[in-house]
Structure 1
């Protein structure tokens, strides 16, 4: 993977639409094609399937569109989270809560805290992202302060605590219709968010698992029907696309192909 250097990133830039436009440069042709195809699918499921068009229709459309753009940008090691991710998550929180999937709403809030706010308040967080991505087992090789044992323990604790807390809250307090699938979404998604925040390649395996959990959760939600069924379908389709993108990321993303940088850091013993 070729090393590149990202210029200094200011707070103004991460709120500047033109800066986000710059982040679309340098993507692979496949990612450009996926972006266009995904937006067309989202538009069709939102407006072209005969469901009544209302405020919820537009809300889920923009949430899905911003979310799809964000995950493709992350695959390309571009800092599309931040403003795009914040807008998407805010709408998802509202929609998930209306559909009685509170753990998914909490997960979206977690994404804001771990993935979007750092970009907005600490723009340098996204500088040279591709140089900081590594596997957990490479932390020892790179001479980092916390090694693989520490991080594997953190991941396990996050998953267990998140699932248990969500399940108990949903079964004992809220009495929601899908406590197991909703809690699994929070557990796997929170692991993915933590791994992404600390730039570990294993985050994408967590996203794959979380994607399966999301597909199951929103599949059950769509099957339950109701007046909000159309918006649930849009979200289900979007998560299906997220899952396909996560599979492709394993093949082509710099989040997985960074042996040259790791080797150089190992030689220089740079943390």
Structure 2
């Protein structure tokens, strides 16, 4: 496959991944959304279906890595680094595009949510305001969770370990099944299994940090959150932002090492 195919496939696929994954977060979070308060099950299955759709769409072009940790693991496994920058560039751009599309699709809901005094503070605000103030003090605005992840309890080593562990599980699943014939990404037959693995990780390991398990998934939308003209949006929590980037990359490298020792 050519570099242009890889870049286009990863851009389109990651944009779909974030549009649908971030979209379910917006649907569950934002005021005036019909799905508001649908809960964690809706989010985990929404992300799983997002992975399924994105892989089916992009696999014919790029092999559907959709995740810098997967790309890194495959480069280590095959000792082929030639296309890593192209994959990473497409993934980051696609994640940013997907996040921007979530904002477009939920424009009215973002405005209603971020101008609600009970959410952003003001007369009559009670427990919800207190939560918003706590988030602001931690550097995270009231809708940042639509775009990127954040910990429920800030313990750096634990947050990092959680992202590493979740990513090891994901990448091992990718490496041991569903590789296409050329061995450079997820094939069509691996899409469903991988989607279910993402649901499983979300249900079992997503509670502490929101399970980024994908550096582009977190960094691209976080940049978009910082740039969008959202009223009362608060901070983008840059002090935490390195964890969902570094953790998954470490996890991907560990998974590739395990694969090369145990399965190759």
> What TM-score comes out, normalization by structure 1 length?
0.28
User: Which structure ranks higher in relative contact order (CA pairs < 8 Å, sequence separation ≥ 6)?
Assistant: 2
The structure whose residues are more often helix, as a share, is: 1
